[in-house]
Amino acid sequence: MKVLVTGNLGYIGTVLTPKLLARGHSVSGLDSDLFSECTFTGEIEPVPMIGRDVRDFVEDPNAVELLRGFDAIIHLAGLSNDPLGDYRPELTQEINAAASISLAKLAKAAGVGRFVFASSCSNYGASTDSFIAENGVFNPVTPYGVSKVEVEQAVAPLADDTFSPTFLRASTAYGVSPRLRFDLVVNNLTAWAFTTGEVHLKSDGSPWRPIVHVDDIALAYVATIEAPREDVHLQAFNVGQTSENYQIREIAEIVRDVVPGSRVGFAEGAGPDVRNYRVDCNYISRKLHNFKPQWTCRRGVEQLLEAYQSAGITLNEFEGEKFKRIAHVRSLISRGELSSDMRRIEVDALAG
């Protein structure tokens, strides 16, 4: 299958791309590579690239022709977390919502048969302690979550006999990736424990959160594009395992148990977090027979600890501009390499 992966140079994309290639798929990427200076470990798999911001790509008069011939698009590209989303909420709407909807329409016009969208369990936002299945009520509480809901609601009506969208609502990701993110709860708590001896909680630890390893997220995408069309057409899937729902304090306790000599501590003023949801992931296990998640929280913390030990990561590094997405974006803007709307400023443009 010929597959275009948008956001192939990001946290999930750098894990997914090698898995697709190993399965014999032909992969191309679309990414502006904002985080080219932020590789944590390993190599980035080279593939043919469209080096563009997705907003600019969808405005290209030749976009349909550039998409023609692809069998599937896996659309990961977007602002990836709440701090980036809160930085300028209108950019989250522009990048994550409007550009994604435009890309889906272009894909349909180009005859791309499958469109797999990186949605999120953030769609459920502020919920009760009951498990939420895919038919649960949306209640997003951040610009990021709102953008994901908008795309699902706009792209679903495009489905027909020739265009098949699928929405993968990933649980909160964690685990080692070449483009590691330290703003994810398991990655962050493990890094704090390793570098300071304290599992540093910034909330009271009471909210529920489903978590899923980045390897398992990548496996879900592979399983989706390889599944029979009728199994995934116009479907939404909660990605993860029902058993991998934890209260944040439970994750902290696992980290404490794995990282020698660490203890659980709370930031000053730590209080409740309005984001609270538990998700039921049984549907994906019934429908996608090739999706067999391998990771648990404890195994993931052990993997992260080993990677941090190998890299000798320090507190200043993981809390600094290289590995903190919003800090890196602000740095690029201050250096004149990125505009305030997060577009690359080319050297030639600066010179001219």
Q: State which fold the 2-348 domain adopts.
A: Rossmann fold (3.40.50)
What six digits make up the tokens of 300?
């993931």
The residue type at 31: D
Kindly give the parts of the chain with pLDDT less than 50.
347-352
Q: What is the per-residue pLDDT across 142-160, written as a single tens digit (0 to 9) for each?
A: 889 999 999 999 999 999 9
Q: Domain locations in the chain?
A: 2-348
For position 272, what pLDDT does the model report? 65
Q: Collect all residues with Cβ–Cβ distance below 8 Å to 55 and sequence separation of at least 6.
A: 94, 95, 98, 99, 343
What confidence score (pLDDT) does residue 62 get? 97
For residue 82, the model assigns a pLDDT of 60
Q: Distance between CA 179 and CA 309 in Å, rounded?
A: 17
CA dist 224 → 37, 235, 291 (Å): 31, 10, 8
Query: 321: which 2 tokens?
Result: 């501009």
No. of helices (H) and no. of strands (E), the chain: 16, 14
Residues 6+ apart with CB under 8 A from 4: 27, 28, 29, 30, 50, 67, 70, 72, 73, 74, 112
pTM score above 0.85: yes
